[in-house]
Structure 1
Amino acid sequence: MRVVHGQPPSATGTHHGLAWARFNPPRPPDGAVLVLHGADSVKENQFDFARAASFAGLVAVCFDARGHGDTGGVLGDGVFDDVAAMADLARGALGPDGGPLALRGSSMGGYLALVCAGRAGIDADAVVAICPPSAEGLRRGLADPARFAFAADRTALDALVARHEVTDAVRALRVPLMLMHAAGDLQVPVEHSRELAALAPDASYVELPGGHHQSVQHDGELLGVSVRFLARALRRAGAA
């Protein structure tokens, strides 16, 4: 499902076979944020966040993962390489010397943001993860043929996810982290984000009473909370 409202992207294109859209700020940017959508979603569903991030002085890049939206192919064990390629694209929009980069992901995108943030070639300076599933939870979804509609090499993707648990990634993170979750989420239990927050005492944790799996990422107030968090973190990273 595509939801498109408001100002269109500043630029669109393809990179590494992935369809992307970029929102540029009205002034020299303080950094860039790569936006990772969830399973069966598309980049357009993240445009509300990307616009808000651009107004806060950040370059925001959204893209369709393989098997989703305008990107062809199937999602498989190359997904980490795809995130790295798009991270390069986002940093490149800051100029020849690059600059600080954040990852912001929801649901499956939250999982990817956490496990990819510290990988060589990405090295994110800040992370926001919204309703991120555990590796076990994501694998259960992949094992259910009725759960997801996107094209995937489920065997290869399952093997990749099995080797990368978010708890390990969170323990290893040394950059500003914000975890966000709706207490009423029936797809990814809120307890998982509570457990992740306990593993990272310096992390910011935001929990929305009630709600559902999509509540946090499209709530205007919480969207602003995450944008301000990332803008502060990237300004500090750029000044270091």
Structure 2
Amino acid sequence: MSAGTKLPGTPEPMHRWQGSGSIAIAGDAWGDPNGPLVVLQHGGGQTRHAWKGTGEALGAAGYYAVAFDARGHGDSDWAPDGLYGQDVMVQDLQCVIAALGQHRPVLVGASMGGGTSLVAVGEGHVDASALILVDIAPRIETKGIDNIQAFMSQKPEGFISLEEVAEAIATYQPQRVRPKSLEGLAKNVRLGSDGKYHWHWDPRFRAGTRDLQRRQERLEACARALAVPTLLVRGGLSDVLSEEGSQHFLDLCPHSEYVNVTSAGHMVAGDRNDVFGTSVIEFLKRSVPPSIPPGHASRPVSTPPAESGGDINDVP
């Protein structure tokens, strides 16, 4: 089952792995497989494409960066049972790491992917070497979640054109410059049998109940248990993670580092990929340095700009 037919120009995944319950997980990779493994997990409603610029920069810096579509998203399978909870997401992550044959990966997660990463490390499901959380923490703002839900709930009957899709995105993310070309939207939607454009994700993904109090308590326990190098990156314009929520996390995990990308919203990597990529690489070079061949250590690493028309929505 899927949202429909992929549009021309939508990139094919470089890899496919088997997730929990034989779900096919689609992913891309950048860099030398012998470098430290960095696993990038996107937010709800996003795809692996949200990490392309970051993945390329990490690969150039000596890391092996892997980004994959969460179940029910992008090119990964939809769950036959319609279950998309945090526990099964952690199981998928474990399956991907096992398939890669690497130990002690760096986990980087945005929003939903950050929650998955925090649970995976904090509850001991994954033996990670470092953790990077992107605009997500145990304490989040209900107003921001409501805004995301409102965005994702619009047009359940589908969009009549890519222009209409672009308008919906621009309304939700007014801080971003609207792309001149609509081609980048191709990877975010599918063409249904009804002739309309539908988001790539399984609608059942949003059907589960969300107990924010229980979620907060679980993630707080995970944050207290962290013993690996940890970096929290917040978008200064975010309505999901506040400065107070960030400080609350830093109190729970005193050894963690913190970066506030003041000109970015909740989609930090998409809004300011240059600042985000630089912050992540600087942190990793100190905490999990790559093995760079002699004579290459001084070579500068640049972070590619974010793609226009990239991923836009997110559910923690």
Q: TM-score, normalised by structure 2?
A: 0.60
Ranked by relative contact order (alpha carbons within 8 Å, sequence separation 6 or more), the top structure is 2
- Secondary structure at 1:181 match in 2: strand
Give a deviation string over 1:69-111, Cα, whole Å, max 9, x none.
Answer: 122134523x434334434433543x5xx33211101122222
Over 6 Å off, 4+ runs: none
Deviation at 1:153, TM superposition (A): 6.3
Residue 219 of structure 1 is matched in structure 2 by: 273
1:111 paired residue among 100, 109, 115: 115
Residue 74 of structure 2 is matched in structure 1 by: 69
Give a deviation string over 1:152-185, Cα, whole Å, max 9, x none.
Answer: 2633665996385322211110000000102221
Deviation at 1:130, TM superposition (A): 0.8
Give a deviation string over 1:108-157, Cα, whole Å, max 9, x none.
Answer: 22222212213344122210001105366579948x96354543263366
Deviation at 1:211, TM superposition (A): 2.8
1:82 paired residue among 84, 89, 98: 89
2:215 paired residue among 158, 162, 167: 162
Q: Could you tell me which runs of 5 or more consecutive residues in structure 1 were left unpaired when the two chains were aligned.
A: none
Give the root-mean-square deviation of aligned CA atoms: 3.4
Residue 150 of structure 2 is matched in structure 1 by: 146
Whether the aligned pair in 2 keeps the contact of 1:34 and 1:87 (CA below 8 Å) is: no
- Secondary structure at 2:150 match in 1: coil
The one-letter code sitting in structure 1 at the alignment partner of 2:41 is: L
**Counterparts in 2 of 1:85 and 1:111: CA distance versus 1, 3 Å:** closer
Residue 53 of structure 2 is matched in structure 1 by: 48
Whether the aligned pair in 2 keeps the contact of 1:18 and 1:64 (CA below 8 Å) is: no
**Counterparts in 2 of 1:163 and 1:212: CA distance versus 1, 3 Å:** closer
Are 2:255 and 1:202 aligned? yes
Identity of aligned residues (%): 22
Deviation at 1:38, TM superposition (A): 0.7
- Secondary structure at 1:152 match in 2: helix
Aligned mates of 2:75, 2:143 — CA distance in 1? 25
- Secondary structure at 2:108 match in 1: strand
Larger radius of gyration: 2
Whether the aligned pair in 2 keeps the contact of 1:88 and 1:122 (CA below 8 Å) is: no
Q: Which moved more, 1:50-59 or 1:207-216?
A: 207-216
**Counterparts in 2 of 1:25 and 1:91: CA distance versus 1, 3 Å:** farther
Q: TM-score, normalised by structure 1?
A: 0.77
- Secondary structure at 2:64 match in 1: strand
Q: Which moved more, 1:208-217 or 1:155-164?
A: 155-164
> 1:114-125 maps to which residues of 2 (within 5 A)?
114-125=118-129
**Counterparts in 2 of 1:139 and 1:32: CA distance versus 1, 3 Å:** farther
Are 2:21 and 1:13 aligned? no
- Secondary structure at 1:165 match in 2: helix
- Secondary structure at 1:103 match in 2: strand
2:242 paired residue among 181, 189, 193: 189
Q: Could you tell me which runs of 5 or more consecutive residues in structure 2 were left unpaired when the two chains were aligned.
A: 1-5, 154-202, 291-316
Whether the aligned pair in 1 keeps the contact of 2:89 and 2:116 (CA below 8 Å) is: no
**Counterparts in 2 of 1:159 and 1:196: CA distance versus 1, 3 Å:** closer
Whether the aligned pair in 1 keeps the contact of 2:236 and 2:261 (CA below 8 Å) is: yes
- Secondary structure at 1:47 match in 2: helix
Aligned mates of 1:14, 1:234 — CA distance in 2? 25
